[in-house]
Structures are given as structure tokens and as C-alpha cells.
Amino acid sequence: MPGTSFDYAVIRVVPRVERAEFLNAGVILFCLEKRFLAARVQLDESRLHALDPTADGPWITEHLESLPAICRGDRSAAPISQLTQRERFHWLVAPRSSVIQLSPVHTGLCDDPHETLNRLFQHFVPATHS
């Protein structure tokens, strides 16, 4: 069996948009057939401050943590959470010029979207350094 198609994007933190330097801070995965939309996020503040010593880590973390809540449809996260999964995914991955951006959308096949999200997260987001 070939698996189920999914789309994903890597969540990037771009502390100084004009410099276009970024660090990966998470992954969003959407699998329509399995009705799955989820995100995992983690900010490595030491890497963030290597790019921009003045970056506001707690503020960025707060905004990153809203992404999994929006994916879950948590109505307290943002009004966008009330949209369908497909609409939320497309809103989340829409191009923007802000501190939190997403990579282009990529596709793949999987049997278990949750396991695939975890695997992609481990691949794209370096372990946090204490």
C-alpha cells in the first residue's frame, strides 16, 4: 500500500527579516484523508540570539506556541481556529514577511501522520542546546 498523501511546511524564525537569516523552529503537517492537522514547535534561544542578540525569545515562543493550538482548532488561540482544517493549513502556510515564516509546502506519503510529523520535526529542527 503506497500510503496517504500529506503536505508539510517547516516553521522558520527570521529574527531580522531584512537579513533573511532563519532557524527552523517547527513543522506543520496536514493530511486531508486522515483529517490530521498538527504542528510541533521548539525555539532554540541560543541559536536565535546568535542570529540576533536583541531578539525577544519569550515573545517569539508565545507566537510559535499558538500554531499547534490553531492546528487543533482551539478557539481560544485565534479566530482563525474556527475555520476548517484545510483553510487553517492554507492560512498558516501563506507567504508572509514577518518574524515567523514557513517554508514552501512539500508533499509526501505516509501511513501515520503523527509519526511522520515527529520524524520530520527530528529531521528539520535541531535539538535545543541548554
Q: 79-121, pLDDT tens digit by residue?
A: 888 999 999 999 999 988 789 999 999 999 999 999 999 999 9
Residue-level pLDDT at 127: 81
* Res 130 pLDDT > 50: no
Spatial distance between the Cα atoms of 109 and 105, rounded to a whole number of angstroms: 14
Q: Which helix (H) or strand (E) holds 97?
A: none
Side chain identity at 46, as an amino acid letter? S
How confident is residue 54, by pLDDT bands cut at 50, 70 and 90? very high
How confident is residue 129, by pLDDT bands cut at 50, 70 and 90? low
What percentage of the chain exceeds 90 in pLDDT?
82
Per-residue DSSP letter, 79: G
Distance of CA 46 to the CA centre of its chain: 19
Alpha-carbon dihedral angle through residues 60, 79, 34, 23, given to the nearest 10 degrees: -10
How confident is residue 75, by pLDDT bands cut at 50, 70 and 90? confident
